[in-house]
Amino acid sequence: MRTIIKRFQHPTLQIFLTPLATIFFGIVVGARDATIIHWGNVGLLYLIAFAAHILNHFLTIKYNRMNREAANAGFWIIIEAILLGASIFFMLRHGWALNILLVLYLLSTHLLYFPHNISLTGYRIFLSSFFQGFILNVIAYSSISTMIPKSILKAFIPLVIIQLIVHYQITHLEKRSQDPNIAPLIGVRRLMVLIGLLLSIGTGVYFSIPTHSFYLLQILFVILSVFVLVPVLIPTDNSRQIQNKINYLNAITAIYSILYTISYLY
């Protein structure tokens, strides 16, 4: 168990897994329903999600942790250029409706820090959860398949819930990294996290029914989800543990997304 947790805490792993969590369900389910898969769309969308994640990490270091030296301006420009270039190429391949959603996502990424820093408030929790759990998956599905049915929209609910829990925890941990006097999530707040985790698993099973695997994959989804989500409830004591937990939280969103996708499809 400790070995697995340490693997998920590795910063390099979460850098690549976190963007995947925001589009994996939409891409895979969209590929199932599509007649032709345009892999260029998949690559561009992942690059957009990847660049946005790196940008968010950069802005967090610069504005929340006040580490101006680590936040190199040249690196910022490069990431912004990649994000803008990939977005333009993606938009040229799609219609106005999908492009509007993508523009809103890009705006939400920047508005967390500009003109005012709201990245440590409830606005960040709800904005990030909505765009990363719902909007990006809508874009992912629609970029693979031509039309998105209403039944798929409901299936995004578990992904929004897990993003809510993760962003709630990350926001609290970022605050603690600035002020050590802030207490860990205990009592009612930890209970809220537990309820959120149970809701994410419960709704994941609900939207996976009917099943084609005699409920075997749904049972596996529950067991593995509990296995990777239980460490989320463990409190942290110091700055190193805080950063490790942030890395872990980012990584498990992708693990949950993969497990839920398999459960949903079969």
- Confidence at residue 125, expressed as pLDDT on a 0 to 100 scale: 95
Q: Hey, where are the domains in the chain?
A: 2-265
Looking at per-residue pLDDT, the higher value among 30 and 241 belongs to: 30
Angle at 57 (CA atoms; ends 56, 61), nearest 5 degrees:
115
Residue that the structure tokens 């992942």 belong to: 46
Residue 68 — very low, low, confident or very high, per pLDDT cuts 50/70/90?
Answer: low
Omega into 180 within 30° of 0, i.e. cis? no
Residue that the structure tokens 């938009």 belong to: 91
Q: What is the pLDDT of residues 141-153, one digit of tens each?
A: 999 987 888 889 9
What proportion of the chain, given as a percentage, has pLDDT over 90? 64
DSSP 62: I
Burial 45-71, CB ≥16 within 10 A → b, else e? bbbbbbbbbbbbbbbbbbbbeeeeeeb
- Confidence at residue 3, expressed as pLDDT on a 0 to 100 scale: 72
Strand, coil or helix: what is 43? helix
Length of the chain: 266
- Confidence at residue 63, expressed as pLDDT on a 0 to 100 scale: 81
**DSSP characters for 47-60?**
HHHHHHHHHHHHHI
Strand, coil or helix: what is 10? coil
